[in-house]
Structure 1
Amino acid sequence: MSTFLVALGVWLARLPLAEFMIGAALSERGAEADFQVESLDLDGVTLRNLRFGAEESPDAAIETVEARWRWRGLSPELAAVRLTEPMLRLRLDQGGRVSAGALSGISGGAPGRRRPTIPRFNLEIIGGELLVDAPFGQLTGDFRASGLIGENFTAVGRIAETTRPGAEYALDRGKAELSVVSHDDSIAFRVSAEAAQLLWADARADSARILVLGHTPLDLGRFTIEAAMRVAALDTPTVDARLLSGGVTGEAATREDALAFETWRVRAEADAAALALQDVRVQRPRFTANGEGAGAQLRARWTLGGERFDGFGLISRQPAASGRLFVSEDGEFSGDALATFARSALDGDAQANLRGAFPALNGTPVGPTFAYARAALDAAADNFTLSAPIVLNEAEGGLRLSVVAPAEARAATGARLRLSPLRRDTPALVLQWPGPRLTGAVAVELSGGGAPGASLLLDTVTSSAEAPFEADGTLTLADWRADGASIAANELGVTITAAQGGGRVDLRGPARITGPLGDGEVRDLVPTLDLAISWGDGWRVMTNGACVPVRMGGLDVAGLSFADGNLALCPLDGALIAADAAENLSGGFAIQRLALNGSMAGPERQPARVAAANVVGRFSGRTGDITLAVAADRPMISIDMAEDRRLDVVLQRITANAYIGESWRVVGDFVQGGLTDPTLPGSVSTIAGGWSAAPEDGKPVIRVIAGAALLTANRPASDDERPLFNPLQLVEIDATLRDNVVDATGGVLLAEQGRQLALFVARHVMSDGAGSASITASGLTFGPDLQPYDITERTRGLVEGVTGSADIVGDILWTRDAITSAGRVRLNNVSLATSTIPIIENVNGEILFDDLFALTTPPGQQLSVGLLNPGVAVTNGRIRFQLQNEQRVAIEQAEFDFASGVLSMQPTTITLGSEETRFELRLSDVDASSLLATLNVPDLEATGRLEGAFPLLLTRRSAFIEGGVVRAQGEGGTISYTGAAGESATGVSRIAFDALRSFRYDSLSLTLDGDLNGDVVSSIEFSGRNTGTPVDLGPIAPVPGLGSVTVRGVPFNFNVRVTAPFRRLAQTAATITDPGSLINQQGNVDEEELVDPDAPAPE
């Protein structure tokens, strides 16, 4: 009875007891559920309102669950399950994770001794609903199922085509379907999903589709799976793909005692039309992998290829990578990989950066080596193959990546860059996790193909999460030569330290540089480096000491040669050069008290010195577009040209702003310069102007632009002398230094008036130390605004009132030993006056100077003078002369037309400015009649020819005639005086006047002696006879008883001596052709200026 009562009680309490037991079983598997047991009997159970999760938002809910079982002996066996109106809610978060809420924690329970299986039973799902909560909104679907699993079971779930618009998350025409079929004691499923477009935060996929197929027997002894995907376009911040597709196939056999793989095999493939991972782009990428294993073991091979790789500054038209992966039974893995980039080239930016590392610095010591390296590396960067082997293995509980074999880039030109282990027993680099931690000993070598030979040997390389990257070793530069230039460093000490956001490289030791400097050369320039190059929010190049000592073996520049120079390069503001985070440059250098001693090039080797008080350079601009501003205070060059000749060029300041980018150029200016040379007629001061330098046709060209200078004549030897020329200004000086040759042009102005006088053209060959200059003044017009004394004070007081024009050309030649000059002056209708000759007109001709500085000429210089009138006009002058040293003028010939004859000057040499000057004037074949007309003497006619000579002595105080003579030529001539001067004369005077009315002379002479500023003694003698009307002699020789006596042909001798100041010379000169004046002197004697009382009367 008691047993019956207990059994009755259990039966009556079966529903609460069933709820308890079912709830406990679900809780044991990690699921908390609410439900009600509606019925329970020996054949089955019915549950209502089964719910998982919160009541207001359940993760799953089923209206009715009906389970039926059958008994096999005392063991029930599930026979059928019906789910009515089940609801399943899935949640998809913004990270792409799927959650089933409370159902996610359900486990399979305790493991058994055999592998689990899928039971055969009838499963029916009626009116199933699927809810998917996603960032773009909720998706809804339905599912249903029916049939006996393992025989005729089918199940279908669908999400119909749905669009959910949104700004950050959106779905356009998305749909999905799950189908499950089970027959022949196996089960298979198919899952497909697609969308026209899916927007997920900052990622977008267009025309995406995925398909997954799976199959397994009910005993779960073997699995096969296939998956495929296709995306027309995928855009994310890090991935950009076009026509991306891929697939995975695999199969596995499971163990008998557990649901675990015993053996398995898998294959994966993927490809795309184009794929970009951040800045890495691949055209037609292809990936394949094959793996197999037993238990936990894995053996896999993979390959990766494409038609074009573009990334990390590299473009490869044949990229490929392959590798192997191994996993041992205990889970340790290892592998290796080889990446090969064939038919590769650096991209445009990388090649620009490579070229920028070797800027075009033509004309600088590193110019040829940089150019050679740039050309070699640029050619190598156009076609090379890069290979990098890597070994992967597990060690010390983590992953280790090692470079144990050389990684190499080999160019078609033969250039090779190789990274290899420094020691045979140690990998070059080892990167290990956890950490990461990097160690190694590496050799980096560059060689071949014209590239500079370089070797960086890092003895130690270390880095970890706790410590910065550190490396220490040596750098050797060898065989870096080009066109006579070289850069070398033998085991330059290198220490590298790098941490997050910054680092530092220290260089220690000497480097040796040889190369050109302009058209010269620097030899064995050796800076002893002790530098630190740091970076982080920019970068800096600093000295570890105060300054960098620099030794110079030799310097040849501008025709000068220096040897064994030493200087110190000191940083400004703590850095030789620096850049901030925005790449703005700063820093600079200073060289104090620069002094170099050397000599001029050439056999004479004249001593030379170059010095500057201070040289300062400052950097500005930006990285890749550098500006270096250099200023030198009081730069000076001095050359001992000869024992008593020193050439000095001194500037107050010279500046140079160098702009260095893909090419280079320099602009600057210079101020307050001066040039002195004892062989020059003057000194050059206030030199100023601008200059520039830049490469043209691969060679440096230096230009001086709009230069100016003041040219001042040397101080005369004594105060009595005047300067050779007044201050001149050289303006608009443009000069070009190209191929060791300086070409210059400019203008010459009068400094005081600012009036242009001439233009000049100059050339200097620096290697020869020789050159020339040509000064041209075309159409230099004299007038009221310009007189010769405006150009040179030496003409002041000598000439005045100059008009006309002159063409002047001066040529100056110089060598290392001497300066010579020559020139020519063409006078064009020049007229002027002197202190003694008031009228000189129409001077024409060309004067050739063989020394412009000394103003000397060769013999035979010729000028023509239209008119010269010192009181008596002479015309058509022909002068031949030579200007000699010490202001001497050699008169070779001087002739003027005068009175139908010639007035000439005897050849002589005159010293200008001397105490005494002697020369002789001559009259030749002067016509007496023309002379009377020239002198404009009235009432007198004469015939005959005259000649004479006038020796002159000129002193600073006066002029003297010494034995001057004028005499008649040949058989004499006639004189006829028709004036009224003798009408009132009586006696002898009357007879003389009557005789001179028609008088033929046989001889006539005039002598002059004396001081032209004092008394001049004149003696006039002429003799002859009267002709024509007889002369009445009655007044002087009466004949008694005869009345008037007249005679014809009576001989007369006139002999008159006159002593008078030279202002009476005109009166004396007139007596030559006006004897009446002599006769009048007998009766009209000046009381203050007495005529010699002993002068004889006419006989």
Structure 2
Amino acid sequence: RVSGFYRYRPDRGSLSFDADMRMDDARVSQAMLVGLTDTLRQAAGTPFGPIGDALARAGERAASRFDANFSIAGAVRDGGGAIRLTDLTARSASGTRLLFEGGEGIRAIWPERGPSFDGELRLAGGGFPEMLVALEQERAGAPLRGFARVAPFAAGDSRLALAPVSFTAGGGGRTRIATVVDVSGPIADGRIEHLRFPVSGTLGRGGDLRMGSGCVRVGWARMRVASLTIGATQLPLCPLTGNTLLSYSPGRGLRGGARIARPRLRASLGGSPLLVSASDFRLPLVAPSFSARDVAVRLGSGSSRSELDIASLAADFVVGGVDGDYTGASGQLASVPIRISESGGDWRFGGGVLDVAGDGVITNTSPDRTFEPLVTNNMTLHLENNLIRMNSTLIAPEHRIAVADVDLFHNLDTGEGEAILETERIEFNARLQPSDLTRLVLGVIAQVEGLVSGIGTIRWDSAGNVTSDGIYQMVDIDLAAPFGPVEGLSGEIRFTDLLGLNTEPGQVATLRETNPGVLVLDGEITYQLLDANRVQIEGARWPFAGGELILRPTILDFRVDQVRRLTFDVVGVDAFRYLESRDFENIIATGLFDGTLPMVFDNMGGRIVGGQLVSREPGGTFSYTGEISDVNLGLMGSLAFNALELIRYSELTIRFDGAIDGEMVTNVEFIGVSPNIVRDGQNFLIAGFTRELSQIPIRFDITMEAPFNQLLYSMRLLDDPGFLVNSAIQARLTRMRAERDVQGPESDIVP
């Protein structure tokens, strides 16, 4: 509705008017507003987010229906003109009130000049803060002068306060704008209190706005994100690109961003001191996000301090939090001697919850390096209510074999936590050996084949104390041990210090077959794993031919290259049962034997030093029942074999010296009599001689050199042992003839 007057002069081609206008139920189309409202909503996820959204909604409601009154005067002639708008009053259905009065109002002269502003603008209600803007502008395009006062504005959980805004003339027709911003509001699902920073910029023709020239000091009173609290802080904020922190122009929207060089923050997390630093932090505004490089996080103090280093970290501000990725992360939790490195993946923080999914390399940082590096490609971490939960599968990197599933828990409030490592099934074979997992077994076991399963637990507290334990089962394992090859080893290992590979005393393992130089079956070994890669052998026993083979207690030290000693005791071995179990078809012997086999192991291998087996009283018998291969042995050869058919000995001693896997020097000594020398059909001279000989003890002293593993089987080669016995009897007869002069030397038997 228009009321006023106008004058139109066709002869001059001019029109002039002066009127009061009234608009009822007017509206501004959404297409005209979308640029401004979208810009306001770009602040989502920042402390300005609720403010920007509230202003956008207030503007949309006010523009959807309003009434307005204003005075307008103007003149048009020859393609040019001027117009002036004064005394503007507007009220929206949403309750917004707008008043522009005083001064020259809003003027526009064309085509030479654009609009100019001179007067006071007041805005309030309908979701807008109370605002007073007083402006002076000499002419269109000239700088603005004046001030603006904006009442503190709260929306949702945000609050914005602006110091009086000043408008002064700047170069190039631009208007300088200066104020100080103080905002409190949400940030990354947390809150920042009194984020304060100065704002200075310029406003040019066409609404071109540039804010923040050079670096400014930014500070806040307090920032809280979940259990993270950062106290009063001051940081230098510099433009991300160029020399402007923020710029806005119609049609291009909001641009710019900020960076902080070498930020350093002191804070607390879950009641523990926290230090966070980075070489660079960037906050672009085009798509609200942030990125950081060389991030270093130190949580706690002293022995309970946790470390996290991240090469690069980035995230987008999304509704309810942030969502991003990271690369090159490494860290260690408190005094737990386990470190993750080369980690990368995705992370998200929202609703007070941090979720991480990534991969990495797991290493042991203890001086003895308990285990070799392992990898994980399915690590997940969940942080909520100051509780960390992490899960992953540890994999042997070379063969990509799963070793253990890890379930880790840590309480940031108390500094306590634990990690459970569950091994459902590891099969050691040619592809995977224990030495691939820990170098501590080198020199202890090798050539392992079999299954291992079990559960281990690592615990820690705020004082830096770390304990660990575990129970593991071994099933039907074959291996090479310091005392010989082992087959069918089974048992349970109870670790009292899993990280140190220490156990409680009395660990028991059964061994189906062992060969410490002689094959023994169904043994049992009792032991304890000590610190510093040492093994306490408490004892081992094997049933052996009616007796026992016993390993004496000892400590094996595998830390250094040194001599290691094992001593086996042989107790009550039955010669008959031993020969029978080894299928000696042509040899029969009786008697019980005891003795010791001291073994020495060094870098040259293993050897027996001073080993000895001695028969028990009253001795036993020895009988060779094989056939004679050479029928032309002569008289003494026949006598020798007649003697071997049955020898009763009172004492038999076997001595061993030499390498287990090389030449063994074995000395066999025994003294016995042979009643079988006397045979029917002998002439009276021979019969008399053999009757006398059958009552005389014969001493055997035999030295053999052979590989130890074959030594006790070498008697099977005695298909024709005449040369051994014949030599022994001939030596004895020579001494007898010398003593009794039974016959002259010219009749000596010539072999």
TM-score w.r.t. length of structure 1: 0.50
Matched, 1:596 2:265: yes
Residue number in structure 2 paired with 1:966: 613
Residue number in structure 1 paired with 2:308: 649
**Mapped partners of 1:576, 1:787: distance in 2:** 59
- Please give the per-residue CA displacement for 1:883-926, whole angstroms capped at 9, x wherever unaligned: 11111001123223433443231222211244122232123443
Q: What percent identity do the matched residue pairs reach?
A: 23
| Kept in 1: contact 2:700–2:728 (CA 8 A) | no
| Kept in 2: contact 1:439–1:461 (CA 8 A) | yes
| Kept in 2: contact 1:1023–1:1051 (CA 8 A) | no
Letter matched to residue 567 of structure 2: E
Matched, 1:939 2:598: no
Residue number in structure 2 paired with 1:636: 296
SS at 1:635's partner residue?
A: strand
Residue number in structure 2 paired with 1:116: none
SS at 1:551's partner residue?
A: strand
Matched, 1:615 2:284: no
User: After superposition, where does 1:539-688 map in structure 2 within 5 Å?
Assistant: 540=209, 542-543=211-212, 545-553=213-221, 565-571=233-239, 572-578=241-247, 580-582=249-251, 584-597=253-266, 602=271, 609-620=275-286, 627-638=287-298, 642=302, 648-658=307-317, 660=318, 663-664=319-320, 666-675=322-331, 684-688=340-344
Residue number in structure 2 paired with 1:329: none
In structure 2, relative to structure 1, the CA distance for the partners of 1:923 and 1:827 (3 Å cut) is same
Residue number in structure 2 paired with 1:493: 164
Superposition deviation, residue 733 in structure 1:
2.5
Matched, 1:709 2:360: yes
User: After superposition, where does 1:469-868 map in structure 2 within 5 Å?
Assistant: 472-475=147-150, 477=152, 489=161, 492-495=163-166, 506=177, 508-509=179-180, 511=182, 513=184, 526-532=195-201, 540=209, 542-543=211-212, 545-553=213-221, 565-571=233-239, 572-578=241-247, 580-582=249-251, 584-597=253-266, 602=271, 609-620=275-286, 627-638=287-298, 642=302, 648-658=307-317, 660=318, 663-664=319-320, 666-675=322-331, 684-693=340-349, 695=350, 699-705=351-357, 707-711=358-362, 725-792=371-438, 801-807=447-453, 809-816=455-462, 817-833=464-480, 837=484, 839-868=485-514
Superposition deviation, residue 551 in structure 1:
2.8
User: After superposition, where does 1:1011-1030 map in structure 2 within 5 Å?
Assistant: 1020=668, 1022=670, 1029=676
Matched, 1:1083 2:730: no
In structure 2, relative to structure 1, the CA distance for the partners of 1:678 and 1:906 (3 Å cut) is farther
Instruction: Give ranges in structure 1 of 5+ residues lacking alignment.
Output: 1-274, 281-310, 313-348, 393-397, 411-416, 421-427, 621-626, 718-722, 1086-1093, 1095-1099
- Please give the per-residue CA displacement for 1:380-425, whole angstroms capped at 9, x wherever unaligned: x99xxx9999999xxxxx999799xxx9999xxxxxx9989xxxxx
**Mapped partners of 1:558, 1:664: distance in 2:** 13
Superposition deviation, residue 653 in structure 1:
1.9
Superposition deviation, residue 590 in structure 1:
1.0
SS at 2:579's partner residue?
A: helix
**Mapped partners of 2:509, 2:563: distance in 1:** 25
Residue number in structure 2 paired with 1:130: none
In structure 2, relative to structure 1, the CA distance for the partners of 1:769 and 1:569 (3 Å cut) is farther
User: After superposition, where does 1:261-300 map in structure 2 within 5 Å?
Assistant: 277=25, 279=27
Matched, 1:889 2:531: no
Larger radius of gyration: 1
Paired residues in the alignment total 673
Superposition deviation, residue 957 in structure 1:
3.4
**Mapped partners of 2:356, 2:727: distance in 1:** 83
Superposition deviation, residue 712 in structure 1:
5.4
Letter matched to residue 703 of structure 1: D
| Kept in 2: contact 1:940–1:1074 (CA 8 A) | no
In structure 2, relative to structure 1, the CA distance for the partners of 1:894 and 1:474 (3 Å cut) is farther
**Mapped partners of 1:948, 1:1072: distance in 2:** 23
Which region of structure 1 is more displaced relative to structure 2, 561-570 or 1043-1052?
Answer: 1043-1052
**Mapped partners of 1:789, 1:860: distance in 2:** 24
SS at 2:580's partner residue?
A: helix
| Kept in 2: contact 1:893–1:907 (CA 8 A) | yes
| Kept in 1: contact 2:622–2:649 (CA 8 A) | yes
SS at 2:288's partner residue?
A: strand
Of 612, 626, 633, which aligns to 1:979?
626
User: After superposition, where does 1:414-429 map in structure 2 within 5 Å?
Assistant: none
Matched, 1:997 2:645: yes
Letter matched to residue 147 of structure 2: D
**Mapped partners of 1:509, 1:433: distance in 2:** 29
Residue number in structure 1 paired with 2:576: 929
Superposition deviation, residue 1055 in structure 1:
6.1
In structure 2, relative to structure 1, the CA distance for the partners of 1:785 and 1:1011 (3 Å cut) is closer
**Which structure's residues are more often helix, by fraction?**
2
| Kept in 1: contact 2:425–2:453 (CA 8 A) | yes
**Mapped partners of 1:849, 1:365: distance in 2:** 53
**Mapped partners of 2:608, 2:255: distance in 1:** 85
**Mapped partners of 1:830, 1:1022: distance in 2:** 41
In structure 2, relative to structure 1, the CA distance for the partners of 1:1055 and 1:492 (3 Å cut) is farther
**Mapped partners of 2:517, 2:361: distance in 1:** 43
SS at 1:1083's partner residue?
A: helix
Please, what is the CA RMSD of the aligned residues? 5.7
Superposition deviation, residue 569 in structure 1:
1.7
**Mapped partners of 2:677, 2:686: distance in 1:** 20
Of 954, 966, 981, which aligns to 2:601?
954
Higher relative contact order (CA 8 A, sep 6+): 2
Superposition deviation, residue 785 in structure 1:
3.2
**Mapped partners of 1:562, 1:966: distance in 2:** 79
TM-score w.r.t. length of structure 2: 0.69
| Kept in 1: contact 2:525–2:541 (CA 8 A) | yes
Of 545, 550, 554, which aligns to 1:904?
550
In structure 2, relative to structure 1, the CA distance for the partners of 1:1010 and 1:1078 (3 Å cut) is farther
Letter matched to residue 567 of structure 1: L
- Please give the per-residue CA displacement for 1:33-82, whole angstroms capped at 9, x wherever unaligned: xxxxxxxxxxxxxxxxxxxxxxxxxxxxxxxxxxxxxxxxxxxxxxxxxx
Letter matched to residue 615 of structure 1: F
- Please give the per-residue CA displacement for 1:460-508, whole angstroms capped at 9, x wherever unaligned: 57799979997635456499997xxx8575x72234799xxx9999562
